[in-house]
Amino acid sequence: MSGRTRAGACPERTCVGCRDRAAKNDLLRIVVVEGVCVPDRRGTLPGRGAYVHPTRVCLDLAVRRRAFSRAFRGPGALDTTALRRFVEKGEQATP
């Protein structure tokens, strides 16, 4: 043994809204199911994922910049109403 300890590497992802890098655990994974952006809290849904901070500010930036359609390589705008409800509910629950 070399005596070095293995530090637990925390994977980082980039928020598609604000473009800041953060720990994967601090971000919300988003996937597209039949043209609708759906939050993937457990990170187990199949398909390409995009990450965003679970705040209204980052979500609004991502929608305004059309980051979801670009991240998912889609032809047009995607429905984000379910995602918006999820983020707003999470912000209300946080004291």
Cβ(51)–Cβ(29) under 8 Å? yes
Q: What CATH number matches the domain at 12-93, 3.20.20.150, 3.40.720.10, 3.30.1230.10, 3.40.190.150?
A: 3.30.1230.10
Query: How high is the mean pLDDT of the chain?
Result: 88
pLDDT, tens digit, for every residue of 30-84? 999 988 999 998 989 999 999 999 999 999 999 999 999 999 988 788 899 999 9
> Residue 7 has which token pair?
């530090």
Q: Kindly list the domain boundaries of the chain, sorted by start residue.
A: 12-93
The CA-to-CA distance between both ends of the chain, in Å, stands at 47
Q: What is the DSSP letter of 16?
A: T
